[in-house]
Structures are given as C-alpha cells and as structure tokens.
Amino acid sequence: MVRFTAIADIIVILHLFYVGFTVGGELAILLGGLLRWGWVRNFAFRVVHLASVLLVAVEALAGALCPLTIWEYRLRELAGQQVERQISFFARLVRRIIFYDFPSWVFLCLYVGFAAMVGLTFYLLPPHRDKNKGVMGRASTG
C-alpha cells in the first residue's frame, strides 16, 4: 500500500513539472524573445514545448483525462486512499497548485487558447536550427 502511495506522490510531482514546463516554458520564450535570449530559439526545446502543449489541448478537445491524473487516481485507489482526503500534505499542496474546481468548458477554453498562443509564438518567434550541428546538437563530422 505504501508503495502505491509513494508512486502516486511521484506522479503528482511529475504532473507539476509538466505544468511548470508548459506554462513556464511559454513565459520564458516570451521573455527571452524580448530580451533576445538565444536559447529560447533552440529547435528541440521549442518542438518539445509545442508538442507538450498540443497534447493537453487535444486531450481536452477529445474529452479525455490526462494519463497522469488517471494513473495517480488508480494508484491511490490501490493504496486504499480517497484522493481528496487521505493523501499526504505535500501531495495535497501540489494538487492545489495544478487542479481547480471549474466547469470542464473553462479548461477546454484555457487549454485550446493557450495552445493557440504557443502556436502563434512558435510562428512569430520561430526556433532556429543550427545547420552546422547534428540532431543531438553536436558538431557534425562529414
């Protein structure tokens, strides 16, 4: 039982990191564009960021729950916990940061609107590919 609880707590922390990456990434890209930070135009970073945001928007449009939420809930059930009542202080704190009690249409609008903003940012502040580097960012030999 403790094992399931610990894994569920790890998943909720990973969920927080995912949210932080998507929201914080966009803030960093916008600020970096204004301040001319070169790293915010890194192609790999920008593609992964865009894909992360689009995944959430597509899930919302499909009416699907986030897999991280499903896994966390299932693990808490296996541990005999009620998600909203019998979880650790830390897990409860993290959940209050990333989960809100709004109607589903609000989340749909937020997720799709945020994805549109990230897509627009991708277009207006495009990433750059370094033509002298290989796929992993190292200098090509050849």
Task: Say if pTM beats, i.e. exceeds, 0.95.
Answer: no
Give the pLDDT mean for 94-111.
Answer: 88
Where on the phi/psi map is residue 83: left (φ > 0), alpha (ψ -120 to 50), or beta?
Answer: alpha
The pLDDT value recorded for residue 54 is: 98
**C-alpha span between 66 and 15 (Å, rounded):** 9
137 belongs to a structural domain: no
CB 85 within 8 A of CB 14: no
**Residue 17 within any structural domain of the chain:** yes
Segments forming the whole domain that contains residue 30 = 2-124
Number of domains into which the chain is organized: 1
pLDDT band at 132 (very low <50, low <70, confident <90, very high): low
27-34: average pLDDT: 98
Residue 135 counted as domain residue: no
Q: What is the pLDDT of residue 53?
A: 98
96 belongs to a structural domain: yes
In a domain, 131, yes or no: no
Asked if residue 138 is part of any domain, the answer here is no
Residue 39 per-residue DSSP state: G
Q: Residue 88: which pLDDT band, with cuts at 50, 70 and 90?
A: confident
Distance CA 122, CA 56 (A): 17
